[in-house]
Amino acid sequence: MKDSLLKAFFVYAYSFVVVFMFNSLLMVILMKLGLVPLIGTILSYIITPVALFFAYKISVKKFLGMPVDEKRIPRAWFFQFIPFFVISLILSWLLGWLIKQSSLAVFIFLNLELLVIYITFKLSVEKVLKPER
């Protein structure tokens, strides 16, 4: 199951990267149109959870390598997403405060995000989705 867990995680992690890139592109387009950056921020806070939920659902159903009770997927995703979101906010604030060069802060942030995603993804699979024996 270890290889299957990694496959499912990579699908989910790459989805996170794609969503992050899409949100960045959306922000740039909205700013070029002269709209307030708050609109892009609100849209990204709407798009990100929805996209990540469906990415989580697809990754565990197709790539986990074990039968998954579909009723447990939303609970498992919340178990993964809520700690991930809270840790992300803390990391973002902390890196913004510690590192003044924004490109370096974003680089470090994204790498730490992947680590946080892996840990929370693995815990959600083991604690919520793994069949009880």
Between CA 120 and CA 73 the distance in angstroms is 14
Q: What pTM value is reported for the model?
A: 0.85
Mean pLDDT of the region 77-97: 93
| pLDDT band at residue 132 using 50, 70 and 90 as cut-offs | low
Is residue 1 pLDDT above 80, yes or no?
no
Q: Token pair of 106, please? A: 């974003």
Between CA 113 and CA 91 the distance in angstroms is 8
Task: Give the pLDDT confidence of 7-29 residue by residue, as tens digits.
Answer: 999 999 999 989 989 999 999 99
Chain centroid to CA 86: 12
Is residue 4 pLDDT above 70, yes or no?
yes
Q: Token pair of 89, please? A: 């906010």
Between CA 37 and CA 108 the distance in angstroms is 23
Between CA 70 and CA 2 the distance in angstroms is 21
Are the C-beta atoms of 84 and 120 separated by less than 8 Å? yes
Please tell me what DSSP assigns to residue 127.
Answer: I
Q: For residues 3 and 68, which has the higher predicted lDDT (pLDDT)? A: 68
